[in-house]
Chains A and B, each alone.
Chain A
């Protein structure tokens, strides 16, 4: 995967939220988001931007430690070096207290009937 300069993420939280602001981790190294707006409290929407500036083999949203976190939807826009930005939409998932969420997804393939 090419160098990931920046990514924007929007997280829509369901019934059970997260206290505080989540972090992300790239290649095993935890980092803070550079900007955040909103919250991950129940029903909340958190918008954040990360600037890893690195070649990712692993990119994860660090999950909760105290209680599960219900995520309804995640939108991630990747800004890769030398290529057009692309956006991936993730569906609902519950992060248990031992789980992190992978944020590394390839650009979805556009398909058509032939």
Chain B
């Protein structure tokens, strides 16, 4: 039996319980500390570093005058537009899924007007656009039209996210409080069986940055956990939440779930 498992119950047995006190169960961070302590004791610590990726060279497609915008095709259905300056300040982000919620964003409204567009995501200096999964044509003509629409919108000084929507958003502290409650009460107890633990790194505007630890760090299923579990619970807690960004360094976990699986050698 691993020593962290024993320690977990030793801690419960030693906790003081008066008549009016609830049992003191360890928190997710207590649990993580125990796992990390054991890892530290049993293996020399090595770190994983990343080398700079060299630019393979960009394809010069067209260089229109004015605000510079670069397009990067992410998949057959999505393309990211990187503007040379932020399109929205203060860390705010917005996910517009379909024309029914485009009132939140004058920019999304302008882009949906082009047709064939299903979603628009706005954050920092990036605008990411998703088109219909049935669409198989070359991205470049549509990307050019989208780039021109973004440029004219920004050069006209129009907002990307509606001021009315931004004014109605909860404060960063209120968002943080609700997300931490969701983590403590719903998410972390659920993933503890995989030695996993998720913590809120920070909230900027209405954008959440999370960090996965323990068994979630480096786990091949971590993005599924994020997409299908964490995101849904977070959005129930804060319906106005923007993007949820994973800032975990998945290469350097000291206790990734798969690495802790037993081997034939024991």
Contact = CB atoms under 8 A, between A and B. Distances in A.
B258 A100 contact: no
Given A28-B256, A60-B251, A111 B47 contact: no
A57 B49 contact: no
B203 interface: no
B185 to A, nearest CB: 28
Contacts of A98: 44-47
Interface stretch (A14-22, A33-41, A44-52, A87-95): A87-95
B53 A108 contact: yes
B52 interface: yes
A63 B218 CA distance: 19
B14 interface: no
Which size class do B's interface residues fall under?
A: 35 or more
A102 interface: yes
Given A57-B219, A93-B52, A27 B259 contact: yes
Interface residues of A, number: 35
Given A109-B72, A113-B61, A104 B251 contact: yes
Nearest to B142: A114
Nearest to A91: B52
A111 to B, nearest CB: 5
A1 interface: yes
B69 A114 contact: yes
Interface string B70-94: 1111100000111000000000000
B165 to A, nearest CB: 27
A29 B60 CA distance: 42
A58 B251 contact: yes
A9 interface: no
Interface in A3-19: none
Given A102-B251, A109-B73, A113-B63, A28 B51 contact: no
Given A58-B250, A111-B71, 13 more contacts: A55-B220, A57-B250, A57-B258, A58-B251, A90-B51, A98-B44, A98-B45, A100-B46, A101-B50, A102-B48, A111-B72, A114-B69, A114-B70
19 contacts: A27-B220, A27-B259, A28-B258, A57-B218, A74-B51, A88-B53, A90-B51, A90-B54, A91-B52, A91-B54, A98-B46, A99-B49, A100-B48, A101-B51, A110-B56, A110-B72, A112-B61, A112-B70, A113-B70
Query: Which 3 residue pairs across A and B have the least CB separation, nearest first?
Result: A114-B147, A28-B259, A112-B61
